[in-house]
Amino acid sequence: MTPQQIPLDLAGEPSFGREDFLVSPSNAKPWALFENWPDWPDRILALVGPSGSGKTHLASIWAARAAALVLRADRLGREASESASQAGAALVEDADRALGPEADLFHFLNRARAENIYVVFTARTPPDAWRLQTPDLVSRLRQAPIVLIGEPDEALMRAVLVKLFVDRQLLVDVSVVEFVALRLERSLDAARRFVEALDHEALARARAVTRPLAADVLRRMESAAG
């Protein structure tokens, strides 16, 4: 029996630095808007897009630039409001999935408006779809412009795959990148999972990264998802 190597994950967590954000038609407009901060149409924005579209990355770049406080959506009470007031900017991630008491969000928004605090909410859906029960809160949220970021297009998927391969020091033929980009789920998270799995499989089999190997990993990921 041929001995297998034990794969070691040396890539670590994904980097959310400015230099790591790849711009394509699917994210060019939100990128330009965030690059123009603080010249915004409103101090409160909702960054909306599907999972794996790059919301967290773009919002993290802005948060670092604005020295924004990063808050949990289910903890927007008085202490969070006071901290956001001191910082002058706040990032609230996944607001459509983990909102706490509506009264907390209502008072948080009122204070942000009154004190001209910059606030970015990230979410998969617009505020109208958050099933809020407080009419005044819905009205406040509707005042905030919605910035849409689309799922990665084919060009972005190719570029992200190439970068991920380079980050892991994997030598991969262009034909493999093209093959994967056409078949992989349109998600940056999916691209990261795929490259990680492919790297592990290549190490375990002590083989170079080839199209058949990539196809095996794709089938395995599809089976696990189905």
Given the DSSP bridges, would you call strands 118-123 and 44-48 parallel, antiparallel or unpaired? parallel
Number of domains in the chain: 2
| Judgement on whether residues 192 and 114 belong to the same structural domain of the protein | no
Rounded average pLDDT over 131-144: 94
Residue range(s) defining the domain that contains residue 212: 154-225
| Judgement on whether residues 99 and 41 belong to the same structural domain of the protein | yes
pLDDT digits (tens, 9 = 90+) for 75-121: 999 999 999 999 999 999 999 987 889 999 999 999 999 999 999 99
| Judgement on whether residues 92 and 60 belong to the same structural domain of the protein | yes
* Collapsed DSSP state (helix, strand, coil) of residue 145: coil
Rounded average pLDDT over 195-216: 93
Q: Quote the pLDDT of residue 97.
A: 87
Give me 86's structure tokens. 């001191």
Given the DSSP bridges, would you call strands 118-123 and 89-93 parallel, antiparallel or unpaired? parallel
Q: Which residues contact 131 (CB under 8 A, 6 or more apart)?
A: none
In a domain, 55, yes or no: yes
What gap in Å lies between CA 204 and CA 201, rounded to an integer?
A: 5
Q: Cα angle vertex 164, ends 162, 169, to 5°?
A: 90
pLDDT digits (tens, 9 = 90+) for 16-56: 788 889 999 999 999 999 999 999 999 999 999 999 999 99
Sign of CA dihedral 123, 37, 142, 147: negative
Give me 84's structure tokens. 């956001």
| Judgement on whether residues 48 and 141 belong to the same structural domain of the protein | yes
Q: Which residues contact 32 (CB under 8 A, 6 or more apart)?
A: none
Q: Which residues contact 126 (CB under 8 A, 6 or more apart)?
A: 46, 48, 146
Which of these three, 148, 181, 198, is where a domain ends? 148
- For the chain, the average pLDDT equals 90
Which of these three, 115, 131, 148, is where a domain ends? 148
Give me 20's structure tokens. 């790591």
| Judgement on whether residues 205 and 106 belong to the same structural domain of the protein | no
Q: Is the pLDDT reported for residue 185 higher than 90?
A: yes
Given the DSSP bridges, would you call strands 44-48 and 69-72 parallel, antiparallel or unpaired? unpaired
| DSSP assignment string, 38-60 | T--S-SEEEEE--TTSSHHHHHH
Which of these three, 148, 170, 204, is where a domain ends? 148
Q: Is the pLDDT reported for residue 5 higher than 60?
A: no
Higher pLDDT, 5 or 16: 16
